[in-house]
Amino acid sequence: MLGDHLWQSTLVAAVAGLLALMLRKNRAQVRYWLWLSASMKFLIPFAVLVDLGRRLAWTQAPMGKKAGLYFVIKEVGQPFTNQPLEIHSRLLPTAVSPSPFYLPPALAATVWLIGFAAVVSTRYLLWQKMSAALRQAVPLRAGREVQALRRLEQLCGVHRPTEMLLSSAPSEPGIVGIFQPRLVWPRGISARLTDGHLNAVLAHELRHIRRRDNAVAALHMTVEAVFWFHPLVWWLGGKLVEERERTCDEEVVELGHERQVYAESILKVCEFCVESPLACVSGVTGSDLKRRVANIMTAPILKPLDIAKKLLLSSAGVTVVAVPIWFGLVKPKPIRAQSVANDTAVAAPESQVASITPAKSGDRVSIFFTPDQFTATNVTLQMLIRDAFGIQDDQILGGPEWLTTDKYDIQAKIRRPTAEQTEKLDENQRFRIPGLRLQALLAERFKLVFHRETRNLPVYELIVGENGAKLQPSTATSPTAGSDSKAEGRKVFVGPGQLRGQGIPLAVLVDVLGKQLGRSIVDRTGLTGNYDLTLEWPADENRSSSPGKTQDASQTPEAESSLFTSIQEQLGLKLVPQTEPLEVLVIDQVERPVDN
């Protein structure tokens, strides 16, 4: 994370340098703002903008298929397309477990802290020394210096009168303070300055107040303290001071002060005073003195930016902000399916007692949940992912080839949620518990890492037919709060060409139909109850696809299709082909489990 931030900030500074080079014949103020933008980039990681893009993507993502309830799975044999009935759950974001603390980061943090403390301490001591001199300074309320200052304040647009302090310290004239700036004037310097020299120096200091240069310098000093190890931030500090002073020089000359008189005033101040040790105290002698005097004497009055350069700078600024936001929109953050969702408050499976071995049981496929155990026979990892997240094959992208070929037998002991835990859950949350446990198992034993995206996929909308639904509301008893049995009051049987359910929601029907058709089903019926239903269709005409394979959305099934006809005649429901954006799971990393 820190490495990304550093190279991104370095790249922004390089782009700022290139733009500054292109604009070297324009006003110094433009280059000053470029360097300031590069400095502030160190305080604003692109990760903040990327996260904003991800949040925008999350708020715009469709809800997709809403599945919700779990139940005990019966064994399903080879005649039924080798696919077990999937367990339904939402695709839930889960947290990444923190990396263990180890020595190299600790050493790096210690070194950084030492450097940070050294920079802050050094500047604190310099500020204390300057503060001591200020405490001995006395207000200057009359004299030609004050009269000239008030006259120039009106000319420069400084509306609040600036307090002038007469100091015995040898420091140059400078502005101290951010919210209430004060002008520190060294004792005895006025005798060395003519009225023209005095007006030029005061005009320069008032430009610092007008531009709030002390506040900007303090911000960059923060960057230098935090990123003291990066040479670029110190170089940026020098460029900021250089362009800051040159900007003030240009503005003083534009106010009508003679170039020669102004250059002489700077040299006289340098003869009598020493430069301020802190950049947040804006003086008159900063930057390369020889170059400044040469620029004052020879540089022409610079013109403002033309339209082309304004468009260039605007495009660069929009790009710097828009690119990370766009990145967050199109590439969501990888997350690890590792911990059980917080809203369930249930324990994860005890992975130390889970057995995962290569399948040795032929072609029979089964997935079985009991309150204390999860058993799977002859299953692929693709099947497990579908069951854990309640999605279809077409919603699983990426991953190695063995995802759909290697088969496993799994036995895992599961801690039963306590009555106190389950009492806090609603009915649907209780029935999602098995899939959430399975997500944790996939993270621990298969090292599953994934992220979510939104893709346009061919789907079927499940809607109520013209003559209304023919579903029988269930009279089954719902599970009690303290019960962990998902079969209590709910029964499901899926076999070749038939589905029989007691007390089940339409989410179960949606999932079974999705497996038969090889395509995601979106429930648009608006029916939210639990039903007793029976659906039968000719087994030799089921349309189940192989794992990971989807059908072309253009291949619209005919009205007389057996399965479609059975759905409409027996349930009063109808499937309509559509293309919709759906949430998909993109696998970033997965490993074969170690045999045990």
Question: pLDDT of 221-280, one tens digit each?
Answer: 999 999 999 999 999 998 998 888 888 888 888 888 888 888 888 888 887 777 777 777
Q: What is the mean predicted confidence (pLDDT) over 59-78? A: 38
18 vs 225: CA distance, rounded Å: 25
Is the pLDDT at 126 greater than 60? The verdict is: yes
Is the pLDDT at 444 greater than 70? The verdict is: yes
Confidence tier at 342 by pLDDT (50, 70, 90): very low
Q: How large a percentage of the chain has pLDDT more than 70?
A: 74
* Region of poorest pLDDT, from 188-202, 331-345, 444-458: 331-345
- DSSP strand E in 465-527: where? 472-473, 491-495, 498-504, 520-523
Closest CA relative to residue 535, chosen from 469, 581, 589: 469
Q: What DSSP line would sit under 50-117, residue for residue?
A: HHHHHHHHHHHS----------PPPPB-TTTTT-PPPPP------PPPPPPP-HHHHHHHHHHHHHHH
The Cα-based distances of 140 to 39, 143, 147, 394 in angstroms read: 37, 8, 11, 80
The Cα-based distances of 571 to 462, 506, 525, 537 in angstroms read: 11, 11, 12, 12
Q: What is the mean predicted confidence (pLDDT) over 152-175? A: 84
198 vs 191: CA distance, rounded Å: 10
Cβ partners under 8 Å of residue 86, min gap 6: 383, 386, 387, 390, 511, 515
Name the one residue in this structure whose structure tokens are 């500090």: 237
Per-position b or e across 549-572, b if 16+ CB within 10 A of its CB = ebbeeeeebeeebbbbebbbeebb
Q: What is the mean predicted confidence (pLDDT) over 188-192? A: 85
* Region of poorest pLDDT, from 30-39, 58-67, 104-113: 58-67
Q: Are 57 and 49 in contact (CB under 8 A)?
A: no
Characterise 144 by phi-psi region: left (phi > 0), alpha (psi -120 to 50), beta (else).
Answer: alpha
> Cβ–Cβ contacts within 10 Å for residue 326, how many?
15
The pLDDT score that the predictor gives to residue 557 is: 46
Per-position b or e across 378-417, b if 16+ CB within 10 A of its CB = bbbbbbbbbbbbbbbbbbbeebeeebbebbbbbebebebb
Q: What is the mean predicted confidence (pLDDT) over 136-154? A: 88
| 9 vs 342 pLDDT, higher one | 9
Q: What radius of gyration do the chain's Cα atoms show?
A: 36
Q: What is the mean predicted confidence (pLDDT) over 85-114? A: 54
The pLDDT score that the predictor gives to residue 303 is: 67
574 vs 589: CA distance, rounded Å: 38
pLDDT digits (tens, 9 = 90+) for 541-572: 444 433 333 344 334 444 336 788 888 888 88
Confidence tier at 528 by pLDDT (50, 70, 90): confident
479 vs 425: CA distance, rounded Å: 12
Confidence tier at 459 by pLDDT (50, 70, 90): confident
Q: Are 222 and 42 in contact (CB under 8 A)?
A: no
| 168 vs 418 pLDDT, higher one | 168
The pLDDT score that the predictor gives to residue 551 is: 40
44 vs 54: CA distance, rounded Å: 17
16 vs 115: CA distance, rounded Å: 27
Is the pLDDT at 71 greater than 60? The verdict is: no
The pLDDT score that the predictor gives to residue 117 is: 94
518 vs 545: CA distance, rounded Å: 5
The pLDDT score that the predictor gives to residue 347 is: 42
Closest CA relative to residue 255, chosen from 201, 292, 191: 201
